[in-house]
Chains A and B, each alone.
Chain A
Amino acid sequence: MKNVYKYIIAIIVFIVMIFMVYESRKELNEVSKTYFYMDTYISVKVYVKDNNKGSEALNKIDEIFEEYHNLTNKYEDHEKGLYRLNKNGSGDIDKKLYDIIEYGYNFYDKSNHLLNIGIGNVTDIWKKYRESESGVPSLDELNKVNININDIKLDNGSIRLKNGVNIDLGSLAKGYATDIVGEYLESEGINSYVINAGGNVLVGKKYHSDKYKIGIEDPTGAVAIYKIIKAEDIAVVTSGGYRRSYTYNGVNYNHIIDPNTLYPADNMLSVTVITKESKLADLLSTTLFLMSYEDGKEFIKDYDAEAIWYLKDGTVKMTDGMSKYE
């Protein structure tokens, strides 16, 4: 009789173990959607118990990205948006647009005067050449236009642009909107998510036992991914010259323009920044792309952020703190 009890206990233990394994395997459902805004392909994945709640959130996110697309778009006319501000030099702008411009404007001094949102006139010229692939603008042509950021006058919700200065939010609009979407998801109680807006990645809490694995694309294309970062509740942004560029007479011209030379920056192939906020990661990665690796290594020490540089000779450099994401 005693033996029978023993075996019954053994069987119960066995069943409990199977149940525990089953529980540990049970994951939240993934619901995903893609969007096309801000000239880029955006994908959002959320991990939820209730699929309907996930789908509703993804539809709301469509509206958020569309709103930020309209407000920050330099080339399409929208109510209270950037196109109208640039064209008229003043006028009624949306509070949300004001906040983005203010955030970018305030970073100018912090970035050693490299991140200049007043560079719009120069990026317009480069865009024209890039799209027609018809040559390279001369320094004369570039020097004629005004990029003085001090001609942007911010005053309590209203903005005045003096002397024809023109705002370009390409260095932060995607990162900024990504943070807004992340905040929206958190407010809905959806804490596990992956937002990828054209090089701007923001992830929430992990949804199973592993952290998120975020691959970084190889700028040379030799392999698809050259590095994987393991993290949660983090933003990862890459700036690179290998996307949105054109080649003329054998020289590659990318879209990230150095405000000092007025020509595309050519310090490295790509740089990736990892920090809490996507909007800060966006500004920092553009700033590091405009600096030499040596300057950037010192610059980034002032921030609670890590960076990975892919240099032109193929070497990869990292900040010491990167080890926590291995």
Chain B
Amino acid sequence: MNKNDIIVCILIFILGIFLYLFSFNKNSGELAIVYYDHNKVLEIDLKDKNKRTYTVNGYNGEILIETVDGKVRVVDEISPKHLCSKQGFISGSSESIICLPNKVIIEIVSDDVDTVVR
């Protein structure tokens, strides 16, 4: 092997290492997961800090969800006590909003952990 071959080998090797590292360093951050009747219906990436609204169908009708700055809240829902919208914003990977009358659960999960013991 001459000098050029060795350089090519080294370059390929370095490229391979980069590809490998990138494959394990993808999105680390938080997601808001919305469940309706125990099944996942929406996944929102909380890395997006802009104010956005989403609508999901609850048991009593539509539920309006807002995310901003890594936080999530229920803006409006059809339920007797409006407990979900009264709860306000949640943030951080051990919090959840449970809207029992609408069978909707919103939880924040972190890519950094698989689950949280409460």
Distance, CA A198 to CA B5, complexed state (A): 59
CB distance from A147 to the nearest CB of B (A): 28
Residue A324 interfacial (CB < 8 Å): no
Cα-based distance from A21 to B26 in the complex (angstroms): 14
* Closest partner residue, chain B, to A14 (CB atom): B12
Contact of A196 with B115 in the complex, beta carbons under 8 Å: yes
Nearest Cβ distance between residue A307 and chain B, in whole angstroms?
13
Shortest distance from the beta carbon of B41 to any chain A beta carbon, whole Å? 11
Interface centre among B12, B35, B110, B117, by most A CB within 10 Å? B117
The answer to whether A201 and B95 touch across the interface, beta carbons within 8 angstroms, is no
Selected from B20, B24, B93, B98, the residue in CB contact (under 8 A) with A215 is: B93
CB distance from B62 to the nearest CB of A (A): 20
Find out whether the CB atom of A203 lies under 8 angstroms from the CB atom of B118: no
Please measure, in the bound complex, the distance between the C-alpha atom of A136 and the C-alpha atom of B23, giving whole angstroms: 57
Q: Which residue of B lies closest to A272 (CB)?
A: B117
Partner of B38, one of A6, A34, A236: A34
* A34-64 interface code vs B (CB 8 A; 1 in, 0 out): 1110000101010000000000000000100
Contact A32 B19 (CB under 8 A): no
Q: Say yes or no for A225: interface residue by CB 8 A criterion.
A: yes
Q: Is A237 an interface residue (CB 8 A)?
A: yes
B16 at the interface (CB under 8 A from A): yes
Chain B residues, Cβ within 8 Å of A201: 115, 117
Bound CA–CA A272/B107 (angstroms): 22
Q: State the CA gap A214–B109 with chains docked (Å).
A: 12
Q: Across the interface, do B35 and A238 meet the contact criterion of CB distance under 8 Å?
A: no
Q: Flag whether B27 is at the interface (Cβ < 8 A).
A: no
Contact B112 A198 (CB under 8 A): no
Which of chain A's residues have a CB closer than 8 A to the CB of B93? 215, 224-225
Shortest CB-to-CB span from A277 to chain B, Å, is 16
Q: Is the CB of A21 within 8 A of B19?
A: yes
Residues in chain B near residue A238, CB distance under 8 A: 117-118
Nearest CB on A from B114, distance (A): 5
Determine whether the beta carbon of B117 is less than 8 Å from that of A216. Answer: yes
Q: Is the CB of B116 within 8 A of A217?
A: yes
Which residue of the partner chain A has the closest CB to B18? A21
Say whether B113 contacts A21, CB under 8 Å.
no
CB < 8 Å: which of B5, B16, B20, B40 contacts A6? B5
A7-43 vs B, Cβ < 8 Å mask (1 yes, 0 no): 0001001100110010011000000111110000101
Residue A243 at the chain B interface, CB threshold 8 Å: yes
Residues of A whose CB lies within 8 Å of any CB of B are 6, 10, 13-14, 17-18, 21, 24-25, 32-36, 41, 43, 45, 62, 194, 196, 198-199, 201, 203, 209, 212-217, 224-225, 228, 236-238, 240, 243, 272
Q: A24-B23, A203-B114, A203-B115 given. 15 additional CB < 8 A pairs?
A: A10-B8, A18-B19, A21-B20, A41-B105, A196-B115, A199-B117, A201-B115, A201-B117, A212-B115, A213-B113, A214-B117, A215-B113, A216-B116, A217-B116, A238-B117
